[in-house]
Structure formats: structure tokens, C-alpha cells
């Protein structure tokens, strides 16, 4: 952690970064960070939140799984959440996990674990009623997933009806859809022969195939499936162990991986891990580690869960894979905020299940620190399933022709001068939204789900609109005509009409979403919400000085400077005014004061099920009143709002003397200004 960075600001920065990487991994199937780097970010956040539990919020990445479902699919609410797994990276970390398991279960003897290969695919929940497959959904955010039933029905490995006489009334099967290596190679060969872009790796191929809107395309993809767990089970008792459950799966006709085993105690678990590591290269599918689960369901229940993962299971990742290759060239890419990123173009190398041809070098300082030169032989590492990195240069193989790379002084897209602000590592194009590269990225950001949420406006469509100069600022989206859209490649009447409807729908938004969509540097979702709540009106924010901005919670000098600079530029003000002239609007936001409401500045926790609103709606209402909504109860919690079926949080709140509000009392409080401290 940077010692000069305030704690809350660092935590929020970590959350914003992790959420962005989750979106690219889970939704876009286009990760941009190495697995090891992602794990490091998550670990730092987990450590900081463990040390400061009062700062944990319900929307922290540590409290959730993955990312929200794609808007193109109907959403499915998981009756039982689909949780993720914590990770171990070496023997000692697994041994620490085993000790925690035995301590929680109050055991002195060795624990028996079920050992499974960690498949590299997409998690799926299959709901069977009276033995018939009725719904299939992706993991999504763990609470809601994407309905991909019709696509899943095309996968031959998944039975449409379960076999046998022991089939329960309702059962939700959890498992992994993946693409075997042979099928992946054949799919890519066919794509290359047809002049199409091949998939980066089997996981992306599986995820992309399952998310096709046309199930006929999915049917042509070589997808497979292995089951690994249960969600819901009604109509029969739960077996005594995971291993017995797998026998039941097989009896029902569900595919079960043939590499599953049991191991008793730490030593046998280490041996099972090594055995799968040795087999990895020979398996017909990609795996990136081993999963350990306490075999006994009785023990699992006594050990319990944290909010995003079971305490009785852990994934042990395989170490990163490394290969050597040659740097063919180095060039730069321009990002949304004008950041100039050097990229090494490599001789193709297959590492970690992916053919790697490009590796980001992040910034000029990183480029010079690693001293990567054109013609160098470099070591490329790929950990897990995310993008690779250059670990080091093989200096012994450097030739005399390899000279240090010099960063350009002009933007490669618009030829504007490049500038480097003191204290920053990044070089930026000075042209702002006049640079075509920045226009494309800013429009993509403006239309993204967490900003204006323009359904159907994908990357390729944005690139066409910008290339044809139909869109040069985000405001130009709202001047598009049906005729202009129909002039684009692969744009049919219905698609054009749908996009125009989506643009019209997006005009009704919120001030935080609008501010986030403007793409002001360092202003993420949370900061945008804080700014909206503090100022209440866009005009007040636009006229605020840096000193006034720094009074907003979580806004420091750097963020304040970026906000002031953004609104000082005449071009930016013109874009904002044009957007408003097209009818973009939002509900009035009243600037908060500490005496405005009894919940202002209070720490509130939500638990249980609310009948009059969703948890997200309740959280939004609390935040509108200035409350701080967190995910766990502590001594610093002011109020616990308890819905139906409240669990351990209610018990803990009562033990700490925290004020507990029923849903009825909470709703009454929202509509009043009662002072609960009287």
C-alpha cells in the first residue's frame, strides 16, 4: 500500500480496479491483467478490510462473485447463491486452510477432502424439475445469472432428463461448461480458414459459445460439461458426502470428471495436487489448479461460509507457466484518457493454453525498467487464464542491433503532442476528445452498463460510427438517425430501431451514472455518487473549486484537480450542454447535510429478505440519505435493518447492542425524519 494514500481512498481504488477486471473477465471474456496481479489486488483488499471491518461495504468485490449478467439475456435469480472459492498458492497456505477447517470443526484428526481438477470454463447451474431440465443459468454475480437454457440444451453431454428411480422433485446441478483442447484446435483452424479471428483460449471459446444469442451457433461448438456440486435439492435427503453425491450424479446420467479422488490429511492432499500437476499437460482439457472440498456434508455445515466463498473448500492454483520468444516490434496504443501504452509485438508463442502475440509494457517507466528492446529474447509468463507479461529479458541473447526503444513525442493517431504530468508515470495525448482513439474509448465508456447503459452499442459499432465521423463526442450518439445507422455494415432495420430505442431509454438516468459516463479521470462509480450527493446539482459541481471539492468524502487533491480541469475545458462543457439539450435527465438530487436525516452518516447493515423492495433498492435509498452501507456488523454499526430469515448478522447485532430495525420501521423512517437517538 502506498503510505501517502489515504486508507479509504486506497480501498476504493482497489475495489474500482478489481470490478473493472471482473467485468472484462466475466462479461467481456477479454481480461487485461495477469492472474497473479489480480490475486495480489484481491489479497491486498481482503487484508485491508480484515484490518478495518468497519470499511467493508456490501458492494465490495470481496462480498460478491464475478460480475453482473449481460443485458442481452434474461436474468435468473439463483435460489442458492453460486459462490466462488478462495485460493491457496503453496503448501503452507493450504496447510493454513486445513488448520482453519480443523479448528472450526473442533477436530484433532485428519480431514478427508474430495480433490477435483479446477476446470477452465464457465460455471453453470442446471435446474431439473421432476427430472426434466427447465432452466440453465450462468453464475453472473453469484445472485443473478444469465438464462442460457436454449444454448445449454444443445450440449450433448448435458442430459435433458435425468435417469433412474431416485430423481428428486427439484434439483439444481452446478458444474462447468468447457471446450476440450481438440475441439478448440478444430474450431480455431476453421475460423482461420474462413478468415475470421480465432479464439484466444478454450475458456474464452466456451464462454463466447454459451453466450450466443442464436442457439444454432452454440450447437456447432464442441462444448463439454462436468458436474461438481449442488444448489437446491428437494424431495430426497442429501447424501452423507461429496464422493457419495458424485455417485448419485453418475446414476442420474450426469457427466463426472474421471480425475476426482479423495485424500485424507495434508500429505495426501499435497500428493494429489502433484499428481494432477504432472498429468496436466496430458489431459484433454485445460485446468489451472486443484479444488479441495471437505468431503463430509455434516462437517461442511459446521464449518460454514463467508459471504462470497465456503470456508470448507479452497482452490490451489498451479504456478505460472513461462516460455521464451522474440520481440518483433514495439508500438504504442492510445487509451480513453489519452494514456499512451507501449506494447511489445511478439513472435507467436503458446504459453498457459494461449497463443501470445502481444504483451503490454504498461508505461515508459516499466519499459525502461525491464529494458525491453526490439529483437530481444524475452521470458513470457502467463498465470491462470488472464493476459501474459514479460518477466525478463534474456540479456545473454541480446544482439548489437537491439537498441533502447524511444517513446514517440507525437500521438500515433492524431499527431498531437504528447505530455507527461509531473508525478505521473503515464504519457498522454494532449488532444483530448479531438483524438479519434480517445473518442472511441470515451464513447464506449459513456455507453457502458454502469454509465448510460446503452444496450446494443458494442465496440465494433462504436468503431464504425467514429471511423465514419458520425460520432465524434458522446453527445453525437443522440443525433444519430435511422438512415445513418442503416448505412453501417451488418446493421439491419430491427437492429437500428432497437439501438435508437436504447438511446432514447438511456436519456432517463441518474446524476451519478451521468457523471461516471463523462469519463473524468479518477472518477469511478463511488466517487461519482459522492459528488452527486454532496453537490446535488450538476451546475454546483461544475462551478466548484478544488478546495470545495476536497470537502467531499473520498475526494483528495488529485481527483479534485481532475474534476476542475475537466469542467474548465470549453469543449467538455459544450459536450455536457449538448447532452442535456438532447433531453438527458435524472431525478432531483438533494445535497446532503448532516442534520438532514436521522440516517445521514450512519453505518447501516442490511440482512434478510425485504418484501417491499430489493436489497439494491434499499441500499440506494440509504445512500441517498447519506448512510454508509456496509456488509458486516461491528461495534461501529449504528443500525441493522432485518428482513425475513435474518441470520448470523442479526444475532451478532443483538450481542453488540446494535439498534435493529424491522422492515416496517425502516420504511417509516425513509418517509420521515425521526431522530432515533432520542
pLDDT per position as a tens digit, 251-268: 998 999 999 999 999 999
Domains in the chain with CATH codes: 7-63 (1.10.287.610), 87-317 (3.30.470.30), 320-430 (2.40.50.140), 432-506 (1.10.150.20), 511-581 (1.10.150.20), 603-670 (3.40.50.10190)
Q: What confidence tens digit (pLDDT) does each residue in 9-30 have?
A: 888 889 888 877 765 664 454 6
- What is the average per-residue pLDDT within 377-395? 78
- The distance in angstroms from the start CA to the end CA of the chain is 41
Q: What confidence tens digit (pLDDT) does each residue in 303-312 have?
A: 887 766 788 9
SS (H, E, C) 175-233: EEEECCHHHHHHHHHHHHHCCCCCCCCHHHHHHHHHCCCCHHHHHCCCCEEEEEEEEEE
Q: What confidence tens digit (pLDDT) does each residue in 126-140 have?
A: 999 999 999 999 988
Rounded Cα gap, residues 156 and 286, in angstroms? 19
List 99, 118, 216, 590, catalytic entry: 118
Q: Are 68 and 19 in contact (CB under 8 A)?
A: no
Phi/psi of residue 30, nearest 5 degrees: -140, 65
Q: What is the rounded average pLDDT for all residues in the chain? A: 84
- What is the average per-residue pLDDT within 333-340? 84
Q: Are 315 and 87 in contact (CB under 8 A)?
A: yes
DSSP 299-312: HHHHH-B-SSSBTT
Q: Residue 193 is placed in which grid cell?
A: 480458414
pLDDT on residue 594: 44
Band of pLDDT at residue 315, cut at 50, 70 and 90: very high
DSSP 284: S
DSSP H helices in 289-341: 297-303
pLDDT on residue 272: 96
- Cell 461495504 identifies what position? 57
Question: Which residues are bridge partners to 57 per DSSP?
Answer: 630
pTM of the model: 0.49
pLDDT on residue 670: 65
Q: What confidence tens digit (pLDDT) does each residue in 474-530 have?
A: 999 999 999 999 999 888 999 999 999 999 999 999 998 999 999 888 888 768 888
Give percent of the chain above pLDDT 90: 35
Q: Residue 419 is placed in which grid cell?
A: 505530455
Q: Is 118 a catalytic residue?
A: yes
Band of pLDDT at residue 1, cut at 50, 70 and 90: low
Cα Rg for the chain, rounded, in angstroms? 26
38: left (phi over 0), alpha (psi -120 to 50) or beta: alpha
Q: Are 225 and 155 in contact (CB under 8 A)?
A: yes
For 594-672, list the strands marked E by DSSP.
603-607, 628-630, 639-642, 659-662
- Cell 458520425 identifies what position? 470
- Cell 502433484 identifies what position? 274
Give the strand pairing for 389-393 and 639-642: unpaired
Band of pLDDT at residue 64, cut at 50, 70 and 90: very low
Q: What confidence tens digit (pLDDT) does each residue in 144-157 have?
A: 888 998 889 888 88
Q: Are 206 and 226 in contact (CB under 8 A)?
A: no
Amino acid at each position: 500500500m502506498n503510505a501517502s494514500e489515504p486508507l479509504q481512498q486506497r480501498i476504493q481504488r482497489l475495489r474500482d480496479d478489481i470490478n473493472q477486471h471482473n467485468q472484462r473477465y466475466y462479461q467481456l471474456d477479454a481480461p487485461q491483467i495477469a492472474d497473479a496481479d489480480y490475486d495480489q489486488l484481491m489479497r491486498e483488499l481482503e487484508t485491508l478490510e480484515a484490518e478495518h471491518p468497519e470499511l467493508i461495504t456490501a458492494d465490495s468485490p470481496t462480498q460478491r462473485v464475478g460480475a453482473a449478467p449481460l443485458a442481452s439475456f434474461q436474468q435468473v435469480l439463483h435460489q442458492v447463491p453460486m459462490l466462488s472459492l478462495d485460493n491457496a498458492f503453496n503448501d503452507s497456505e493450504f496447510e493454513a486452510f486445513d488448520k482453519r477447517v480443523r479448528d472450526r470443526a473442533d477436530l484433532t484428526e485428519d480431514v478427508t477432502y474430495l480433490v477435483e481438477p479446477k476446470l477452465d470454463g464457465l460455471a453453470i447451474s442446471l435446474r431439473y424439475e421432476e427430472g426434466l431440465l427447465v432452466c440453465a443459468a450462468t453464475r453472473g454475480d453469484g445472485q443473478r445469472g444469465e438464462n442460457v437454457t436454449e444454448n445449454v440444451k444443445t450440449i450433448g453431454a448435458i442430459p435433458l432428463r435425468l435417469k433412474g428411480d431416485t430423481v428428486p422433485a427439484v434439483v439444481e446441478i452446478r458444474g462447468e461448461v468447457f471446450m476440450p483442447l481438440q475441439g478448440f484446435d478444430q474450431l480455431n483452424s476453421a475460423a482461420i480458414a474462413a478468415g475470421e479471428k480465432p479464439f484466444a483460449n478454450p475458456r474464452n471459446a466456451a464462454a463466447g459459445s454459451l453466450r450466443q444469442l442464436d442457439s444454432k451457433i452454440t450447437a456447432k461448438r464442441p462444448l463439454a460439461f462436468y458436474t461438481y456440486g449442488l444448489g437446491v435439492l428437494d424431495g430426497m435427503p442429501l447424501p452423507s458426502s461429496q464422493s457419495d453425491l458424485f455417485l448419485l450424479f453418475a446414476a442420474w446420467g450426469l457427466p463426472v470428471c474421471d480425475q476426482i479422488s479423495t485424500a485424507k490429511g495434508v500429505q495426501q492432499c499435497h500428493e494429489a495436487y502433484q499428481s494432477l500437476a504432472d498429468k496436466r499437460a496430458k489431459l484433454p482439457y485445460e485446468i489451472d489448479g486443484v479444488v479441495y472440498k471437505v468431503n463430509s456434508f455434516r462437517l461442511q455445515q459446521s464449518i460454514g461460509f463467508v459471504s462470497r466463498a465456503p470456508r470448507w473448500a479452497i482452490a490451489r492454483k498451479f504456478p505460472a507457466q513461462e516460455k521464451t520468444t522474440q520481440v518483433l516490434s514495439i508500438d504504442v496504443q492510445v487509451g480513453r484518457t489519452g494514456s499512451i501504452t507501449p506494447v511489445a509485438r511478439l513472435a507467436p508463442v503458446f504459453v498457459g493454453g494461449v497463443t501470445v502475440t502481444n504483451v503490454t509494457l504498461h508505461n515508459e517507466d516499466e519499459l525502461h525498467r525491464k529494458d525491453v528492446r526490439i529483437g530481444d529474447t524475452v521470458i513470457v509468463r502467463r498465470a491462470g487464464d488472464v493476459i501474459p507479461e514479460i518477466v525478463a529479458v534474456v540479456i545473454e541473447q541480446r544482439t548489437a542491433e537491439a537498441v533502447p526503444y524511444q517513446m514517440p513525442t507525437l500521438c500515433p493517431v492524431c499527431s498531437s503532442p504528447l505530455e507527461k504530468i509531473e508525478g505521473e508515470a503515464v504519457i498522454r495525448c494532449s488532444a483530448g476528445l479531438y483524438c479519434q482513439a480517445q473518442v472511441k474509448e470515451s464513447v464506449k465508456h459513456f455507453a457502458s452498463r454502469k454509465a448510460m447503459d446503452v444496450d446494443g452499442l458494442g465496440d465494433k459499432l462504436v468503431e464504425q460510427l467514429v471511423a465514419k465521423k458520425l460520432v465524434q463526442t458522446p453527445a453525437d450518439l443522440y443525433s444519430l438517425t435511422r438512415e445513418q445507422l442503416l448505412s453501417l455494415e451488418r446493421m439491419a432495420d430491427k437492429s437500428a430501431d432497437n439501438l435508437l430505442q436504447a438511446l432514447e431509454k438511456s436519456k432517463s438516468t441518474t446524476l451519478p451514472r451521468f457523471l461516471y459516463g463523462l469519463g473524468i479521470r479518477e472518477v469511478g462509480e463511488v466517487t461519482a455518487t459522492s459528488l452527486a450527493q454532496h453537490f446535488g446539482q450538476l451546475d454546483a459541481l461544475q462551478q466548484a473549486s478544488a478546495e470545495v471539492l476536497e470537502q467531499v468524502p473520498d475526494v483528495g487533491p488529485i481527483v479534485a484537480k481532475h474534476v476542475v480541469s475537466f469542467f474548465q475545458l470549453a469543449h467538455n462543457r459544450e459536450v455536457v450542454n449538448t447532452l442535456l439539450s438532447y433531453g438527458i435527465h435524472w431525478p432531483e438530487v438533494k445535497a446532503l447535510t448532516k442534520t438532514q436525516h436521522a440516517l445521514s452518516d450512519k453505518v447501516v447493515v442490511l440482512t434478510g429478505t425485504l418484501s417491499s423492495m430489493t436489497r439494491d433498492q434499499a441500499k440506494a435509498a440509504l445512500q441517498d440519505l447519506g448512510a454508509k452501507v456496509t456488509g458486516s456488523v461491528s461495534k461501529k454499526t449504528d443500525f441493522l435493518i432485518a428482513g425475513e430469515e435474518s441470520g448470523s448478522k442479526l444475532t451478532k447485532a443483538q450481542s453488540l447492542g446494535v439498534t435493529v430495525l424491522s422492515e416496517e420501521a425502516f420504511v417509516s423512517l425513509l418517509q420521515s425524519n425521526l431522530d432515533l437517538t432520542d
